[in-house]
Amino acid sequence: MSDEQNPADSKLTTSKRRWAAEGKFLTGRISRPETERLPPGQHLVKNWPVLDLGQQPVISLDTWRLEVRGLVETPLDFSWTAFQTLEQSTKVSDIHCVTTWSRYDNEWKGVSTRDLLDLAMPKPEANYVMLTSHDGHTTNLPLADFAAEDAILATSWEGRPLTRDHGGPMRLVVPHLYFWKSAKWLRRIDLIPADHAGFWEKNGYHMYGDPWREQRYSDD
C-alpha cells in the first residue's frame, strides 16, 4: 500500500472497530507477569497467525530505507546494506496479539532498539515515538518502551529471514506490549515530545496496550 492510500477501509479495520466498540475478548481478569506467563484472555498457538490491513507491501531491498527523525541529535537514514552493518543482536521473547493468541519463545535476530538509539542520541525532550510503516500504518508508544531491553528491529525469526507476511524484511518487536505496537514493514521512526494516536489507536484501540492489564481498547 502506498503512502497516499488510506488503510482505513479494509474488512479487518471494520471488524476491529466493531471489536473495540463491543469490548470483544475482554475478560475483566487481571494477571500478574511474576506469577503467570499467559496474559488474561489469551490462548497459546504454535503457528504464527497473519493479520494485516489487506495488502502486504512489496519492498525491494535495493530501495528499502529506515529513517530516524525528530528529537534526535543525529538523524539517521539507512539503506538495507548499511542497516546490515550495524551490530546484530539475538532476542528470545513471547508475543501476545490483541486478537487473543500468544506464542512463546520466539527467536529474533536484528538490531537492538537501544543500539539504534545510541546512534541517534535522543534529545532530553523526546518522550515518545511514532512509527510509520510502508503500508501506511502508524503506531505510537513511549520512548522507554521502544527502548526496552528485549525490543528489537527484527530481520530474522527462528533462524530464517523475516517473511513479507510477517513484516519483512524488517519489523519492530516490543514483546511486553500487544503485538499491534510492533510495527510491520517499518520505514520511519520519529521521536516526539508528546503522545499522539496512531492508526489503530484512532480506531478504538488503547494508547498503550499492556497485555497484563488487558488494555485492548480505548478507555474513552
Domain ranges across the chain: 7-213
Give the distance between the most distant pair of CA atoms in the chain.
Answer: 48
Cα separation, 201 vs 207, in Å, equals 6
- Is the peptide bond prior to 142 cis by the omega test (within 30 degrees of 0)? no
Sign of CA dihedral 16, 20, 23, 28: positive
State the Cα–Cα distance between residues 81 and 41, nearest whole angstrom.
Answer: 41
Domain formed by 7-213, architecture: Alpha-Beta Complex (3.90)
Q: Cβ distance 51 to 182 under 8 Å?
A: no
The structure's pTM equals 0.85
Rounded Cα distance, 155 and 84, in Å: 9
SS3 205: strand
The pLDDT tens digits of the residues spanning 50-65 come to: 865 567 899 999 999 9
Q: Tens digits of per-residue pLDDT, 78-101?
A: 999 999 999 999 999 999 999 999
| Secondary structure class of 12 (helix, strand, coil) | helix
Return mean pLDDT, the chain: 89
Per-residue pLDDT tens over the stretch 158-183: 999 999 999 999 999 999 999 999 99
